[in-house]
Amino acid sequence: MQNTYPEFDGSQVCAQTEPDLWFPTSDRQTGRLAKTLCLTCPWLEPCFDYALRNDVVGIWGGKTERERSNIRKKRKIKPEPLYLDTLFAPSARSKVAVGRYNEAVDEVLND
CB-wise, 38 or 98, nearer to ligand SF4? 38
Please, what is the minimum distance in Å from the beta carbon of residue 82 to ligand SF4? 16
> Of residues 5, 24, 61, 68, which one binds ligand SF4 by CB under 6 A?
61
Q: Is there binding between residue 92 and ligand SF4 (CB under 6 A)?
A: no
Please, what is the minimum distance in Å from the beta carbon of residue 106 to ligand SF4? 26
Q: Is there binding between residue 38 and ligand SF4 (CB under 6 A)?
A: yes
Cα dihedral 24→27→29→34 (10° resolution): 60
27 closest CA partner among 57, 54, 65, 56:
65
Q: How many residues does the chain have?
A: 111
C-alpha atoms less than 13 angstroms from C-alpha of 72 in its C-beta half-sphere = 20
For residues 57 and 50, give the distance between their C-alpha atoms in angstroms, rounded to a whole number. 12
For residues 98 and 76, give the distance between their C-alpha atoms in angstroms, rounded to a whole number. 29
Region near ligand SF4 per CB under 6 A, out of 7-15, 23-31, 75-83, 101-109: 7-15
CB 44 within 8 A of CB 60: no
CB-wise, 18 or 73, nearer to ligand SF4? 18
Residues of the shown chain interacting with ligand SF4 in the complex, contacts defined by CB under 6 A: 12-14, 22, 37-38, 41, 43-44, 47, 59-62, 90
